[in-house]
Amino acid sequence: MDSSLLHDFREFLFALADDELILGHRASEWCGHAPVLEEDIAFANIALDEIGHAAAWYSILAEVEGQDPDLYPDQLVYFRSAEDFRNAQIVELPNGDWAFTMLRQYLFDAAEKTRLAALKRSAYQPVAQVAEKMLREELYHERHTRLWVLRLSRGTEESHRRMQSALEACWPYMAQLLAPTSGLSRLAGAGVAPEAQTWLANWQATVLPFLETECGLILPTEIPPALERSVHTPHLRVILAEMQSLPRQEPEAQW
């Protein structure tokens, strides 16, 4: 892969990996606190899957950069500063209530599922392979969170109100989550990653009618433009401070 394409590819992989890591971390914060025991177990499983997906993308980054696949992922997770993370802001936001958590996870899972389906055809074999594997796991996530969104939207007046306000809270962040990473069209030209439009249309065709018709929610009309993925909310620093404190104090720690 030539060096200009390599830069685009790194940006793309960092976006995928960092989104999974930070959202997985947020999901793990519910462990021991979810509304019911079964859901505690379910959501902890989802958190574990997402962090596993992050690890797989970081391993591909290690391969692309010629780094040690056993050591490099930890380096990236524990010793990078907030400004070097490329996750979208939506995954950094605090968990809020259960409605917000489920809706954010659903919107993310639906996007991940459609993007992975397209990534299965990547000309870069390791990406195609990992995408195929992740997609099977993601089917379970999306099925689970979709049911929660439906159940809360059509449950009580209170659960509906909370789901509507979750939608209003998530929506302004969606453009950044779904926007193509820098140089994506060059990657698409090389067959490495799909153009955003190819899977975005699928995402819209699934998600929008579901939210409006099945859930009876009102989609916000104002959508602010997408920010660069290098721009973060102050919440990311707080997550990283917690996540990185141990390895930064004891870089040799083993457990």
Which one-letter amino acid corresponds to residue 47? A
**245: its two tokens:** 């404190």
Any residues with CB less than 8 A from the CB of 46 and at least 6 apart, and which?
Answer: 27, 105, 141, 144, 145
Which residue lies nearer to another protein by CB, 25 or 232? 25
Q: Find the shortest distance in angstroms from Cβ 34 to another protein.
A: 11
Q: What are phi and psi of 251, to 5 degrees?
A: -60, -25
Binding of another protein by 243 (CB under 8 A):
no
With contacts defined by CB under 8 A, name the span among 10-18, 36-44, 101-109, 164-172 that binds another protein: 36-44
Smallest CA-to-CA distance from 188 within 128, 122, 105 is with 122
Which residue lies nearer to another protein by CB, 129 or 182? 129
Under rule CB under 8 A, which residues in 38-67 are in contact with another protein? 38, 41-43, 45-46, 48-53, 55-56
Q: Find the shortest distance in angstroms from Cβ 145 to another protein.
A: 10
Contact 215, 163 (CB under 8 A): yes
**Residues 98-137 vs another protein: string with x where CB under 8 A?**
---------------------------xx--xx-xxx-xx
Smallest CA-to-CA distance from 194 within 140, 249, 120, 130 is with 120
Q: Find the shortest distance in angstroms from Cβ 52 to another protein.
A: 2
Residues that bind another protein (rule: CB under 8 A) add up to a total of: 27
Helical H segments across the chain, by residue range:
3-28, 37-65, 72-78, 98-119, 125-153, 157-178, 184-189, 196-209, 235-249
Binding of another protein by 15 (CB under 8 A):
no
Which residue lies nearer to another protein by CB, 125 or 156? 125
Q: Find the shortest distance in angstroms from Cβ 143 to another protein.
A: 6
- End-to-end alpha carbon distance in the chain: 37
**132: its two tokens:** 């195929």
Q: Find the shortest distance in angstroms from Cβ 254 to another protein.
A: 12
The residue written with tokens 């079964």 in the block is 38
**Residues 72-101 vs another protein: string with x where CB under 8 A?**
------------------------------
Write b or e for each residue in 11-49: b if 16 or more Cβ atoms lie within 10 A of its Cβ, otherwise e: bbbbbbbbbbbbbbbbbbebeeebeeeeeeebbbebbeb
Q: Residue 126 CA to chain centroid, in angstroms? A: 19
Binding of another protein by 29 (CB under 8 A):
no
Which residue lies nearer to another protein by CB, 145 or 176? 145
Q: Find the shortest distance in angstroms from Cβ 220 to another protein.
A: 30
Smallest CA-to-CA distance from 196 within 208, 212, 185, 209 is with 185
Binding of another protein by 254 (CB under 8 A):
no
Q: Which residues bind another protein (CB under 8 A)?
A: 38, 41-43, 45-46, 48-53, 55-56, 125-126, 129-130, 132-134, 136-137, 139-140, 143-144
